[in-house]
Structure 1
Amino acid sequence: MNFSEMDLLIVVTTFIILVVVLMMVSIYGIFIKKKSELLLEQQKQLAIYAQELAISQVEIKEQTLNYIGRELHDDLGQKLSVARLMTSKLTLSDDVNTTKISKEINLLLGECLQDIRNLSKVFITKQVEHFGFVESLEREIFRIQRLNLMEVEFEISNHELEMNSEHALILFRMVQECITNVIKHSKSKNIILKVIEDPQIIRIFVVDCGIGFNTLEEDDGSGLRNMESRAKIINSEFSIKSVANEGTEVLITYNKYGYGKN
């Protein structure tokens, strides 16, 4: 009888050990599966992030080339034309006017050289990485004001923002797209741009006093969807509020210490 009890004890113990081993194997298998799924999701996010970054870089290049074209045609071209006219006058003028015209030509040529130096910086591939997010915004605002597109009220709490350089490119592209939408569609005479930095986040407001629109009816617009997807890629939040005939407010909330920080 004692032998039978011992056999039963051995069988039960073996069964329990087998069950425990099977449970451990199952738990380990589930763990490996979840880990694999997490790695795949991270790889997917990195691939989407790289794609969005590449798209933003291409768009920045196109806008930069357009900007250079306008500057060469509207600004440098006019200054050099005036310098050429003054050179022609110099050959016909008397000695009294020669010095004055020469000074004006030198001044124009100096401005042209400075403009060329400024434009040469724009040719750098990563414009935002080179100039920085804040300076890139200021350059965009200067362009808008110089072309008399609308009045811009710019407010920033800190000119030395702590930000991932690649994220800065996407954020700048989003703000640039918001500004373009205001210029094209809002019929507003002014735009308010605020950049407020807190310890953990950076909030970017783009506000206009235009005609507004129904955000539910515009839900099919690819532009809004693109900005929402770009915001998610860099661990940010994108929200938009609009009231007919009262204007539109866009808020981009960037988490400084989120996914993908260098």
Structure 2
Amino acid sequence: MDHRIVDINRVIKNAIQVMEDSKYQIYEICENARTEYESLELELTQVLQETVSTIEKVDKLELDYRRARIRLTEVSRDFVKYKEDDIKSAYEKATQLQLDLMVYREKESYLKARRDDLQKRVKNVENSIERAETIGSQINVVLDYLSGDLNQVTRILESAKNRQLIGLKIILAQEEERKRIAREIHDGPAQSMANIVLRTEIAERMLIKQEFQMVQDELIDLKGQVRSGLEEIRKIMFNLRPMALDDLGLVPTLRKYVQDFEEKTRIRTVFEMVGKEMRMPSAMEAGIYRLVQEAFTNAMKHSSASYVSLEIIYQSQMVKISIQDNGIGFQSELVEARADHSSHFGLVGMRERVELLEGRLDILSELGKGTKVTFHIPITAEHRKE
């Protein structure tokens, strides 16, 4: 047995070394991608500014060229009032403006193509950075476990208390990833969409000068759509990681979630709390929040309910969360029997999350009489957060 442990330890040490080397390679890739991203962003900003300036120049040249042609027509008709030098001067001016207009139109086309290409490259680099950071995060999690003593890991797995701590660590890693994604969405797509709104306003002002009413109406509509998209992205950010969860706690965050759920789905909701709220570790509160979120989503998708209630009961060593709806219900015995082999109503995901928290999931449902899902989550002294 000792010989096997030595072999396993050697294999683990080799794996750790390989992953350590890979981690630094990923870090270098990520840093190079960030440098490229900053360079592309700077170039894109310059191209956008030059594009706007060129568009304005083209608009001015078109107006000047139209006036020059009118002037040329005018002097060509009146040989009494205007001399040959006047006609020649008007012709040369019109010709020069026409050439300038052609040059700037070509420049405008080139800049627009360059702008589109840079925007695609920026997006691709963003995706590369995100993938590299995700892989790096996953490697770090694996290294944390492999770096521990093998015998110590065995003792940890034999302890129910420490199994729960491992579950909390896994959930914490997931939530850290969600916070990172939320931050990137805020700094990336949200800012980009705000910039698009600004660009449409510039285009709108330019088009007003040319009196292209139909195009102006289209741009106004586009601006409204972009603003709606920006609002939707902010909602996605909240769903990824509610900022109120860290600042205010579980109960205020769930209260807001229930209110938003009612506004979005038009399903009447009720929120009740019994006992005194206790702050718990961030990972534990996040795990409970996800459980409630999944239960409400299931009620919306599968139950055809017109009413959903959420009740939280704080006890001395446990928090009990019940979600009940008045929907079509189902045969809970049949679902329980199949829960290990299917993802029916998302119960497998909820069951796994509850088990990570060392809790218990109870389902009570009957055809035509709705469904009640209850989570029992133990709260030990270590989990209390003053």
Q: Secondary structure of the residue that 1:187 maps to in structure 2?
A: coil
Residue in structure 2 matching 1:207, options 301, 307, 324: 324
Change (3 A) 1:191 1:140: same
Residue in structure 1 matching 2:173, options 42, 47, 54: 54
User: Contact conserved, 2:358 with 2:378, CA < 8 A, in 1?
Assistant: yes
Q: How does 1:182-221 map to 2 (within 5 A)?
A: 182-215=299-332, 216-217=334-335, 219=339, 220-221=342-343
User: Contact conserved, 1:145 with 1:151, CA < 8 A, in 2?
Assistant: yes
The alpha-carbon deviation at position 54 of structure 1 amounts to 3.1
Amino acid corresponding to residue 169 of structure 2 in structure 1:
A
**Percent of aligned pairs with the same amino acid:** 23
Q: Secondary structure of the residue that 1:246 maps to in structure 2?
A: coil
Distance in 2, Cα, partners of 1:156 & 1:191? 15
Does the alignment pair 1:244 with 2:367? yes
Deviation per CA, 1:41-61: give whole Å up to 9, x if none: 467765544333333555688
The alpha-carbon deviation at position 132 of structure 1 amounts to 1.2
Change (3 A) 1:35 1:52: closer
Amino acid corresponding to residue 255 of structure 1 in structure 2:
P
Q: Secondary structure of the residue that 1:195 maps to in structure 2?
A: strand
The structure, 1 or 2, with the larger RCO (C-alpha pairs under 8 Å, 6+ apart) is 1
The alpha-carbon deviation at position 187 of structure 1 amounts to 0.4
Residue in structure 2 matching 1:178, options 266, 284, 295: 295
Distance in 2, Cα, partners of 1:213 & 1:59? 33
The alpha-carbon deviation at position 225 of structure 1 amounts to 1.7
Distance in 1, Cα, partners of 2:157 & 2:316? 32
The alpha-carbon deviation at position 212 of structure 1 amounts to 0.8
User: Contact conserved, 2:178 with 2:240, CA < 8 A, in 1?
Assistant: no
Distance in 2, Cα, partners of 1:256 & 1:54? 20
Distance in 2, Cα, partners of 1:238 & 1:197? 16
Give the equivalent residue in structure 2 for 1:38: 155
The alpha-carbon deviation at position 230 of structure 1 amounts to 1.3
Q: For the aligned residues, what is the CA RMSD?
A: 3.9
Report which of the two has the higher share of helix.
2
Q: Secondary structure of the residue that 2:328 maps to in structure 1?
A: coil
User: Contact conserved, 2:310 with 2:322, CA < 8 A, in 1?
Assistant: yes
Deviation per CA, 1:173-208: give whole Å up to 9, x if none: 000100011011100100011111112211111000
Distance in 1, Cα, partners of 2:308 & 2:158? 39
Q: Secondary structure of the residue that 2:373 maps to in structure 1?
A: strand
Change (3 A) 1:63 1:182: farther
Consecutive unaligned residues in structure 1, runs of 5 or more:
1-32, 78-114
User: Contact conserved, 1:57 with 1:169, CA < 8 A, in 2?
Assistant: no
User: Contact conserved, 2:363 with 2:372, CA < 8 A, in 1?
Assistant: yes
Distance in 2, Cα, partners of 1:52 & 1:124? 13
User: Contact conserved, 1:202 with 1:254, CA < 8 A, in 2?
Assistant: yes
Deviation per CA, 1:10-46: give whole Å up to 9, x if none: xxxxxxxxxxxxxxxxxxxxxxx99763235467765
The alpha-carbon deviation at position 260 of structure 1 amounts to 6.0
User: Contact conserved, 1:150 with 1:190, CA < 8 A, in 2?
Assistant: yes
TM-score normalised to structure 1 length: 0.57
Distance in 2, Cα, partners of 1:182 & 1:48? 26
The alpha-carbon deviation at position 228 of structure 1 amounts to 1.4
The alpha-carbon deviation at position 250 of structure 1 amounts to 0.5
Change (3 A) 1:45 1:133: closer
Give the equivalent residue in structure 2 for 1:163: 280
The number of equivalent residue pairs is: 182
Does the alignment pair 1:253 with 2:376? yes
Distance in 2, Cα, partners of 1:194 & 1:257? 21
TM-score normalised to structure 2 length: 0.40
User: Contact conserved, 1:57 with 1:126, CA < 8 A, in 2?
Assistant: no
Give the equivalent residue in structure 1 for 2:247: 130
Q: Secondary structure of the residue that 1:147 maps to in structure 2?
A: helix
Change (3 A) 1:124 1:247: closer
Give the equivalent residue in structure 2 for 1:85: none
